[in-house]
Structure 1
Amino acid sequence: MFSPQGPSLRELAIQALSSVERGYDLLAPRFDHTPFRTADSVLDATADALRPLGPFGQGLDVCCGTGAGMRILKPLCQERVTGVDFSTGMLAQAREAHPDAEWVQADVRALHFAEAFDLAVSFGALGHFLPSERPALFAGVYRALRPGGLFAFPIGAPPPITSGWYWALLGFDLAMRVRNAVWRPPFVMYYRTCPLHAVRDDLTAAGFTVTTAPLTPLGRREDGSPRYRLILARKPARPD
């Protein structure tokens, strides 16, 4: 799962016993050599789905990490592109890789932007937010978008109960719950706390109009349904 340039087991253990922010600061120099970095196939499928909806003006990557999302934001957006994250270490890596973008350190549960962006994206970040925290996250993105702006992110279908992945993800989440019950500071990272119906409900409550698009290049499950969908949350346009 990890390349030779990736973190050692000892480094992963230290990260797991840290806070989320400190853990990612430690992991940042090696993050792109781990399976936690969003795969290029997911980024490319997202770009293909968004391209007919553009071009866009200014773009925002929410929880940008080391800046992988710039792979799609730069070609899709005609103006400034910005990444926001709370990890100093991750932002340092992003800034080095993409010096032409703007990078902002902030807690995305309290975004300070107001009607500044036409497109916002996010990749692999929802598991770092408890369900009770999603409304604040989505409300902040809603404020950050201009009227008519779009918030897009991929979401995977849950693996079937007969799949090894189902039990692996269940085991990981259970282990994290035990870890957070007995160790401080907590490290919030869960894989099973953001089902499609709950995410859709929270986005709708924030004011978005929500649709989805299948990311067919990423394959289909045995029942024919797509393995991934792209959430398309649109902020209503201002009436003329």
Structure 2
Amino acid sequence: MQRLLLNIGNTHIQVATLTEHGPELLVCYDTPDIRPLEMLPVLEAMTTPWDAWAVSVVPPVRLSLEQRYGRRIRFLAPEDFPLIDFSPVDTSTLGMDRIANAAAARSLTNSAVIVLDCGTAITTESLDSQGRFRGGAILPGRMLQRKNLAAYTAQLPLIPLGQDVPAALGCRTTEAIAAGIDRGIIGAVREIVTATRRELESADCPVLVTGGDAPFFIRHLPELTPAPDLFTLRGIATAAPAV
């Protein structure tokens, strides 16, 4: 039986196979392209028996896949990660991608650790040295902030992402938007990391960075550490669901 791993996010859907060396990516879809299909082409093309472990933050996609593939896909829950103590938090509102990130971090270290996931939203997941999930922060990512400014104002345009930090004194509206968002988000992440380390009572705990926009933050915040590739999928692979 081939074990597959699915990470269903707001922007992308990753499908990997679980090998003895860890996850091996098969395909990455854009989530908006998959939603109207109500299936995953890679699963339709499978010629050998398979099952899958999945995490999803997109309820309509989860529902479509449950209806099409039934029990072959197991959507994981917090109790499927017994090495993490979730007692400090309300798991009913906790995204499973964040739980998978925490599990991946716990598989790498038994010390306190912070995960910074830079995607549509930017999230932090924090574990203390006892393996307790202590919570974290959520804020809009750089592109989401850009889209919201364009959508909810009359004259501010949608601007592309850049990898450089813009000058604080923007001489055009587009430059001012980039300065406000990109400099602001660097400051926000730095403050969140500082405060989280203080609350964890671990001033030098590592901050592992993953997600599509991770290169921007790694470039401009030297205290951050790149997470291993396929980080969320690695966390899914650590699950130990009851039979």
Same fold, judged at TM 0.5 (above): no
Higher helix share: 1
- Larger Rg over CA atoms: 2
TM, length-normalised to structure 2:
0.29
Higher strand share: 2
